[in-house]
Amino acid sequence: MMNLGMAMITADRLVRLAPVDLVIVVFYFVLVLAIGFYLKGRSNTGEDFFLAGREMTAWIAGLSFLSANLGALELMGWAAASYQYGILAAHWYWIGAIPAMLFLGLVMMPFYYISKTHSVPGYLKLRFGEASRALSAICFAFMTVLMSGINMYAMALVMKVVLGWDINFSIWVSSITVAVYVTLGGLRSAIFNEVLQFILIWAGALVIPVMGLIEAGGWKALQLKVAQNASVEYTHLWSTLGSFKDNPMGIHWTGIVFGLGFVISFAYWTTDFLVVQRVLAAKDLRAAKMAPIIGAAFKMFVPFIVILPGLLGLAVLPMKLTGEAAAVASGGHSYNEVLPLMLARYCGPGLLGLGITALIAGFMSGMAGNVSAFSTVWTYDIYKALIKKTATDAHYVLMGRWSTFVGVLISILTAYLVMQFLSIMDYVQALFSFFVAPLFGTVILGMLWKRATAAGGFWGLLAGTVSSVGMWAWVKVDPTALRYVALSSDAKDMAENMYRGLWSWILCVVVTVAVSMVTKPKPESELVGLVYGATEIPSEAEVPLYQKPVFWAVIVTIVFIALNIIFW
């Protein structure tokens, strides 16, 4: 099967689906639509449609929390990034995720959950006022449709590379399916499908790392082959980060620790409503705190099905992949195509159908996550807050359904923007540095500092967002500016994103503090439930030690430290 797969690489399509593969793919589409129709009758109120009735268990909320992030961004984007940058891409799963997910569960969820807000912009409205809510909501709505375009483009790319399907046909089939089941069932439908997709992703994606390690001869042999075909630095996680020049990403450890590990990671996992919305659907406070911890435990092992295929591509693929533009010009394959290339290499009838279904599930999971989050923020934080402030609950549910449909249409248009970037992940991390990094500065100050004022929150968020976009434009106009933004002219795109996120967060915090010091804060009585020091955190029910969130957070932390030492 390996030889057959490689013989097809130069053909118009890599593989042809056997009848059993087609049955598996079609059955998946029918199943997700059936779930949407089944749940339609349970999504008639705003609480049901936008927050799934707040009745999800910790496990369901936790798996959905992770699955909403396990779309094309994970499956194809990080496989491409690991081919391009080596094992350094695993930082986005470990230091770039685990500490932030644990912080969300133990520190921030009590405030989100107690305030009963529908969204992160909704929290900003309570803490800083309408102006901050409107700014963050508009930025977030813009980002979600851009992010959704990633999933559409990535799925269409897989269908084109693996099966030879028309890219436009693939985009429309996937987008219509997502639009139908999210419009019918709202967040509840998205969550149930995300749990299903989580299972399918693991079942289908495990084929590549298992078969690949067998072909490579194990981890040690894989390291030797990667060193021969690329460089020895591609298999080291930390030891090459003492200098900008000693690693494929052109980044220093300060960029990884502070830019990624603190700003970008905490910003995404604690303030990006796409993932936070899933946890808000938990049935009680303990479940809401446990959900991110459960997600963190699974997150640590996702690199096995995402990062490892990219490293295997460096070791076993007979060709050198290039950036998207170079691939189009030469008729070759790009970084973004490494995962479908590996899928074609190892999967026969049945397994191929399962693998293709896993990829489709991942893409649709990411699309559904972005679309459902867009629908909620548009309805509650833009439409209700700025356009129609008084209407019935049924009216807002109807608006949520229509905005889901419109969000999908806008996402289709943005799918074509992604094609302008060499790597999917460069595009994604640029968006995070624009919109998510400054937002984290505003939210964390609002939660931890009683003196932060409404004016400080708004102007800090605006300054951080504008400065991030400005730094990006500066480097585009004058490439030599890279040495100022990323601290080195050797920095690559990913390194630039990390430092830009760090600077925008720092500027947001400085402006927020400066403006707050010269403006009047709210009285402490108005900060109850919104700020530490002014809020009494409800105590959880008495349970054994092994059922407490903090116990499992410690276990996850120990495993996290061990993994970083093993792959140092």
Section 467-479 average pLDDT? 90
For residue 5, the model assigns a pLDDT of 32
Question: Is the pLDDT reported for residue 6 higher than 50?
Answer: no
Highest mean pLDDT among 40-49, 170-179, 455-464: 455-464
**What percent of the chain clears pLDDT 70, i.e. is strictly above it?**
79
Whether residue 212 contacts residue 346, with contact meaning beta carbons closer than 8 Å, is answered with yes
Question: Is the pLDDT reported for residue 455 higher than 90?
Answer: yes
Mean predicted lDDT score pLDDT of the chain:
77
In whole angstroms, how far apart are CA 336 and each of 159, 208, 327, 342, 433?
13, 16, 10, 12, 21
Partner residues linked to 282 by β-bridges: 56
Residue 476 tokens, joined: 């585009």
Residue 290 tokens, joined: 């446990």
Confidence of residue 503 (pLDDT cuts 50, 70, 90): very high
What number of other Cβ atoms are within 10 A of residue 53's Cβ? Answer: 17
Amino acid, single-letter form, for residue 135: L
Whether residue 100 contacts residue 69, with contact meaning beta carbons closer than 8 Å, is answered with no
Q: What is the pLDDT of residues 363-376, one digit of tens each?
A: 766 677 777 777 87
What is the Cα–Cα distance from 417 to 18, expressed in whole angstroms?
Answer: 33
For residue 504, the model assigns a pLDDT of 92
Amino acid, single-letter form, for residue 102: L
Residue 92 tokens, joined: 């986005």
Question: Is the pLDDT reported for residue 479 higher than 90?
Answer: no
Give all domains of the chain, ordered by start, each with its CATH number.
2-533 (1.20.1730.10)
What is the Cα–Cα distance from 449 to 451, expressed in whole angstroms?
Answer: 5
Ramachandran quadrant class, 186 (left: phi over 0; alpha: psi -120 to 50; beta: rest): left
In whole angstroms, how far apart are CA 539 and each of 105, 110, 134, 284, 285?
15, 10, 33, 12, 9
Section 167-195 average pLDDT? 69
Which residues neighbour 158 within 8 Å (Cβ) at sequence distance 6 or greater? Answer: 76, 170, 339, 340, 356, 359, 360, 363
Confidence of residue 4 (pLDDT cuts 50, 70, 90): very low
In whole angstroms, how far apart are CA 257 and each of 252, 448, 455, 536, 559?
9, 22, 30, 32, 18
For residue 199, the model assigns a pLDDT of 76
Question: Is the pLDDT reported for residue 329 higher than 60?
Answer: no
Closest CA to 500 of 442, 436, 444: 436
**What percent of the chain clears pLDDT 90, i.e. is strictly above it?**
10
Amino acid, single-letter form, for residue 518: V
For residue 219, the model assigns a pLDDT of 85
Section 321-345 average pLDDT? 64
